[in-house]
Amino acid sequence: MTTPRVLVEIDGPVAHVILNRPDKLNGVDLDMLAELVAAAKSLRRNREIRAVILRGNGDAFCAGLDFASALRSPARIARSFVPSPLRGTNLFQRAHWVWRELPVPVIAVTHGRCYGAGLQLALAADFRYSTPDCEWSVLEAKWGLVPDMAGTVPLSELVAADVAKRLTMTGEIVSGTRARELGLVSEVADDPLTEAREFVQVLATRSPDSVAAAKKLLNETRRGRPRRAFRIERRLQFAMLRSKNAGIARKANFAGDSPDFGPRSFGR
């Protein structure tokens, strides 16, 4: 039996999605890409999930694309490179962007190495918690390539243009601490997994619908014209006003109680 490349463990309202090729420093192959997409699809259907923690087994979060493995199947690579007419993403991009589209917060917890495909996967998360000594690199530059797994969009959102260009052109390696200074990393901690869990507890005190709507709102309005942003704001707020969980929040706040939210109802 083939060992799963991606493990999904449900711990109450939290889903842990774990890259599971520790002997390869969680290097990404085509099977892992497919399993990442499948994992996100299964979690989307679970409305009890309040957050996803994305991490890696072993000594690294992810050391990037496993070229040796991927190049064994050139025909499969070619098929995986073709974008879907419906979504506009190919498999390489979809396996990363699907976490951006998931209607719950996704927190990447990194250690060891966060290179190339791994860095792009971390950038697709809503938050990144890193050890101080984790190594971050847009490693595609080493191979004479550019990042092509949907990572350029969040990279350009998180850091200044000159920083994005420098990292992408040089492939330089920066520590988790330096990545935090540059804006790539949300928080740095010796035990980032514990910090991420504590943050999830804070998120769980809020309506799962408003959290999902906030993610969608900010993702869709970060770029573009103000009029479009205002339209999206109105549409999402109207949905929240009709949300059962919003009613629970209002009632609890007026009574001075802690809200007891039901399952997420927003986001397919």
Does 132 lie in the same domain as 150?
yes
Does 12 lie in the same domain as 138?
yes
* Mean of pLDDT values over 13-21: 97
In this structure, is the dihedral angle defined by the CA atoms of residues 195, 196, 198 and 199, taken in order, positive or negative? positive
Structure tokens at 46: 């679970």
At 1 the pLDDT is 60
* Structural domain harbouring 239: 208-255
Pairing type for strands 51-56 and 127-130 reads unpaired
Is the pLDDT score of 11 beyond 90?
Answer: yes
Does 55 lie in the same domain as 177?
yes
Average pLDDT score, the chain:
92
Whole-angstrom CA distances from 228 to 91, 215, 216, 217, 241 are 29, 16, 13, 11, 20
Does 229 lie in the same domain as 198?
no
Q: Into how many domains does the chain fold?
A: 2
Consecutive H or E run containing 55? strand 51-56
Does 135 lie in the same domain as 113?
yes
pLDDT digits (tens, 9 = 90+) for 206-255: 999 999 999 999 999 987 776 776 777 687 887 887 889 988 988 988 88
pLDDT digits (tens, 9 = 90+) for 26-44: 999 999 999 999 999 999 9
Contact assessment for residue 67 and residue 89, using Cβ atoms and an 8 Å cutoff = no
Does 118 lie in the same domain as 17?
yes
DSSP 2: P
Pairing type for strands 51-56 and 6-11 reads unpaired
Q: Is position 264 within any domain? A: no
Q: Is position 260 within any domain? A: no
Amino acid in position 34: A
Consecutive H or E run containing 130? strand 127-130
Residue with tokens 């990572």: 151
Does 243 lie in the same domain as 154?
no
At 32 the pLDDT is 97
Q: Is position 1 within any domain? A: no
pLDDT digits (tens, 9 = 90+) for 135-183: 999 999 988 888 989 999 999 999 999 999 999 999 999 999 999 999 9
**Which CATH number covers residue 161?**
3.90.226.10
